[in-house]
């Protein structure tokens, strides 16, 4: 058996094993819907959206890997990415619109997910949503911006890793190897943080000012989110001019971190969680961001620049 075939088989087995829980629980929800027309709240596992659609999207991409590598050749990654994103959004929207029922209310999975995620800071009097509003669907669907952003980043980076390593095996061109290793490590770290957040929500308690532990974990999450995106961009620019190969991915990293802040701001009705008290943690007049938030955004870009510079130099040495 060739090395490429072994890679395809092990990749598929690995993805199936890693995806067992979200796929299994997603099937249980669908079974409830088929049997009863609704999903009972007690049978709904938190966060099957977006993780069941994410898992399905990645499984499809890995299943198609040998076919796309053979028939679409240099367009294999782009094709797989587009197919994966299509699978994700179709399955995500189908799940979101399923009906869920509790003892007190009948709503959609989208609203129920929002209800479970939304812990309104009690000290913020200007918040526009209340739990009951969320359950009846009276909220801005823009809250999903960070869910979708996280999902898209996870999908495209995972697909990039699988197809990138497969291409190295086929072509023996190792210029992107170090970049893909960084990509894989960051993607696994980011996925781990996402799963950890699902179970802990990073220990927030409904107050707008969070604990030191929460602040550290949230900052780490934001930075790693940006880095995962920035390294993805940088992995395609290995061997290019330094201004392009380092600067552009760093801008991507900081920009994606900003998107995460925007998602949090939408979820909190125009506010952000505060990591402490004092000048460093108080928002600037006229904007929501505090100095510490700007530091997080800048840190994401700067760390990304260091990483991209490192694997960029490695790619040049291999090329030469």
DSSP character for 139?
S
- pLDDT means per 10 residues, the chain with 320 residues, are 90 94 86 76 72 95 94 93 96 76 57 53 44 41 76 96 95 91 96 87 75 90 96 92 89 94 80 82 84 95 94 59
pLDDT for res 48: 80
Residue 135: per-residue pLDDT: 35
pLDDT of residue 160: 97
HSE, side-chain direction, 13 A CA sphere, residue 236: 14
CB 180 within 8 A of CB 168: yes
* Cα–Cα distance for residue pair 49/42, rounded to 1 Å: 16
pLDDT value, residue 106: 61
Q: Two tokens at 92?
A: 């995500």
Q: Within its chain, how far is the Cα of 81 from the centroid? A: 15
Task: Estimate the share of the chain in helix, then strand, then coil, as percent rounded to the nearest 5.
Answer: 75, 5, 25
């Amino acid at each position: 058996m060739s090395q490429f075939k072994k890679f395809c088989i092990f990749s598929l087995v690995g993805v199936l094993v890693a995806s067992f829980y979200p796929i299994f629980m997603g099937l249980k929800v669908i079974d409830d819907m088929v049997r009863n027309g609704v999903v009972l709240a007690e049978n709904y596992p938190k966060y099957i959206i977006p993780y069941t659609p994410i898992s399905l999207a990645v499984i499809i991409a890995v299943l198609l890997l040998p076919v796309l590598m053979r028939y679409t050749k240099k367009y294999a990654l782009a094709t797989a990415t587009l197919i994966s994103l299509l699978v994700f959004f179709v399955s995500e929207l189908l799940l979101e619109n399923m009906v869920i029922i509790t003892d007190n209310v009948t709503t959609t999975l989208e609203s129920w997910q929002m209800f479970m995620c939304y812990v309104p800071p009690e000290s913020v009097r200007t918040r526009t949503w209340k739990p009951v509003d969320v359950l009846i669907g009276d909220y801005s669907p823009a809250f999903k911006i960070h869910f979708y952003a996280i999902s898209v980043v996870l999908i495209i980076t995972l697909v990039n890793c699988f197809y990138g390593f497969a291409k190295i095996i086929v072509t023996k061109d190792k210029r992107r190897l170090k970049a893909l290793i960084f990509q894989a490590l960051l993607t696994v770290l980011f996925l781990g943080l996402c799963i950890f957040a699902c179970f802990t929500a990073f220990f927030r308690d409904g107050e707008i000012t969070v604990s030191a532990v929460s602040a550290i974990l949230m900052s780490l999450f934001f930075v790693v989110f940006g880095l995962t995106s920035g390294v993805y961009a940088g992995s395609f620019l290995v061997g290019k001019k330094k201004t392009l190969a380092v600067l552009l991915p760093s801008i991507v990293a900081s920009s994606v971190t900003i998107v995460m802040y925007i998602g949090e701001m939408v979820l909190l009705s125009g506010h952000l969680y505060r990591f402490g008290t004092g000048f460093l943690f108080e928002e600037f007049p006229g904007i929501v961001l505090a100095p510490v938030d700007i530091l997080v955004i800048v840190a994401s870009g700067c760390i990304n620049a260091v990483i991209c510079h490192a694997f960029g130099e490695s790619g040049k040495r291999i090329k030469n």
